[in-house]
Amino acid sequence: MRRGSAVVKRFSFVLNGKPVEVEVPPAYTLLETLRNVLHLTGTKDGCGDGDCGACTVLLDGRAVHSCLTLMAQVEGRSVTTVEGLLRDSSPDEVQSAYAESGAVQCGYCTPGLIMATKALLMSNPNPSVEEVKEALRGNLCRCTGYAKILEAVLRVRR
């Protein structure tokens, strides 16, 4: 199988708490690696340009666009995706809050929003409405009009 004129390198990182190694072109993005190589598809591909937030993951605990993160930038770091929030296959409280508040419609933006919410709550467990809006302003949702997303986040603040 040909990979064009590709350079392929080996990268090691921690994915959802487990060490993984992949062999991919070093300028592959983390998003391409998660979805197309590892077939871990909870992280969504909405635009590929860092404009929609659907691909948000945590890189060393901070929310980043996996579509704008090169594999070379992931080497040696820790990545958490929406799948990694499950504990013994039970959902995280943020995931439950989104599901129960009606914050999920088509759901394609949901994993990215949940990761952005998680990052917010890790650094600020009791955010104001304004702080929630600032933290989620880069995550586009076309279905909900955001009211129930806000409701879901406010439900899990301390």
Partner 1 sequence: MLLYDIDVITPSSLDEALEILSSRKGRIKVVAGGTDLIIQMKDGIIPRRDLLNIYGLDELRYIKLDDNDMIRIGALTSFSEIASSETIRHYAKILADAASTIGSIQIMNKASIGGNIVNASPAADSLPPLYALGAVVRVASSRGSREVPIESFYRGYKKLDLAEDELVCEVRLRAMSDDEDGIFLKHGLRLGDAIAVVNAAIWVRRDSRSGLFSDARVALGAVAPTVVRARRCEQLIISKKLDEDSMWNAAKAVLESISPIDDVRGSAEYRREMSVNLVYMGLWELTHRSG
Partner 2 sequence: MVQAQRWVGKPIPRRDALEKAIGQAKYASDLFPEGLLWGKVLRSKYPHARIKRIDVSKARSHPGVVAIFTHEDIPNNRYGPFNKDRPVLCDDKTRYIGDPIAVVAAETPEAAEEALGMIEVEYEPLPAVLDPLEAMKPESPKVHERGNIARQTHISFGNVEQAFREADIIVENTYTVGTQIHAYLETEAGISYFDENGRLTIVAGGQSPYRDRHEICSTLNIPEDSVRVVIPHVGGAFGGKDDISVQIHLALITLKTRRPARLVWTREESTIAGTKRHAGIIRMKTAARRDGVLLANKTEIIYDTGAYEGLGPAVLDVAIENCNGPYKIPNIDISATLVYTNNYVASAFRGFGAPQVLFAIESQLDAIAEQLNMDPIELRLRNALRRGDVGVFNNKLIGSVGIAKALEIAANHELWRERERYKSETARPWIRRGIGVASAVKGYTLGALPDKGQVGVELTREGKFRVRVSSTEIGQGVLTALAQVAADMLKCGVDDIQLVFADTLETPDTSVTSASRQLFLAGNALADAARKMLDKMRHVAAGLSGEPPEVFDFLDGYAISRDGKTRISYAGIARYMENNNIPLNVVGEYEVPRVEPIPGTLEIPHLFYMFAAALALVEVNTLTGFVQVRKLVVIPDAGKVINPQTFQGQIEGAAVQGIGYALMEEAKIENGILKTQNFSTYLIPSIKDAPEIEVIPVEDGEETGPFGAKGIGEIGIIPIAPAIANAIKDAVGVRPLSIPITPEKLYWLIRSKRSENGSQ
Site residues, partner 2 (CB under 8 A): 1-4, 6, 35-36, 39, 41-49, 51-52, 54, 81-83, 85-86, 91, 95-96, 98-111, 114, 132-134, 136-150
CA nearest to 13, candidates 3, 24, 4, 1: 24
Q: CB of 95: closest distance to partner 2 in angstroms? A: 4
Choose between 11 and 84: whose C-beta lies nearer to partner 2. 84
Choose between 12 and 128: whose C-beta lies nearer to partner 2. 128
Choose between 100 and 134: whose C-beta lies nearer to partner 1. 134
For 36-61, b where at least 16 C-beta lie within 10 A, e where not — what string? eeeebebbbbbeeeeebbbbbbbbee
CA nearest to 30, candidates 17, 47, 15: 15
- How far is residue 112 from each of residues 11, 36, 136, measured CA to CA in Å? 24, 17, 10
Q: CB of 96: closest distance to partner 2 in angstroms? A: 7
Q: CB of 88: closest distance to partner 1 in angstroms? A: 29
Interface residues toward partner 1, by CB under 8 A: 3-7, 9, 25-29, 32, 48-51, 53, 56, 59, 62-65, 68-73, 75-76, 116, 119-120, 134-135, 137-139
